[in-house]
Amino acid sequence: MTANAATVTRARTGGPREDGPKILEHVMGWTLVVVVAMFVTQLGLL
């Protein structure tokens, strides 16, 4: 097996080259930020 054949059979793991819905990624990221901020303020850590 050559090095080229080994890279072809490797499964994709969804790295930075994978194109997806960018707006959904941003919305989910900001939602996570808001949820963490709500937990922090509710627990009185801020």
For residue range 1-46, list pLDDT tens digits in order: 566 655 566 676 766 666 667 888 999 999 999 999 999 999 987 6
Give the type of residue at 19: D
Contact (CB, 8 A) for 22 and 29: no
pTM of model > 0.85: no
Distance CA 23, CA 29 (A): 10
